[in-house]
């Protein structure tokens, strides 16, 4: 006989979900840092993190501020994590690539 409840007793039921958080990997922290900087100057419509090295991430969207000012701000922020921002047009949108180095 299995040790199963027979349904005749009121056994407490837990509706509380258990959330298990995995440790943040260094790559996740790097991508988060890059995205936070990009969000300051850019409305991101699409983010691609599956890019070949040395590109860490590519962001597609629209600049919120002048491109020269955006580049200067991102260049300063990206330097802290050994990256360079590369800007490129993408039709009516823009691309920002975060490149290691």
CATH number, position 72: 3.30.1360
Q: Within a domain: residue 86? A: yes
pLDDT tens sequence across 19-41: 544 445 667 999 999 999 999 99
d(CA 39, CA 67): 14
- The domain tally of the chain equals 1
**Alpha-carbon dihedral 72, 74, 79, 82, rounded to 10 degrees:** -140
Q: Within a domain: residue 31? A: yes
Structural domain of residue 58, as residue ranges?
A: 26-100
Full-prediction pTM beyond 0.85?
Answer: no
Average pLDDT, stretch 62-76? 97
């Amino acid at each position: 006989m299995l040790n199963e409840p027979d349904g005749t007793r009121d056994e407490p039921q837990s509706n509380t979900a258990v959330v298990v958080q995995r440790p943040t990997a260094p790559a996740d922290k790097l991508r988060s840092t890059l995205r936070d900087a990009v969000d300051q100057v850019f409305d991101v419509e699409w983010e691609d993190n599956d890019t070949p090295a040395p590109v860490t991430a590519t962001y597609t969207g629209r600049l919120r501020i002048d491109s020269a000012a955006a580049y200067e701000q991102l260049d300063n922020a990206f330097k802290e994590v050994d990256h360079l921002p590369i800007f490129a047009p993408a039709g009516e949108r823009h691309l920002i690539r975060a490149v290691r180095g």
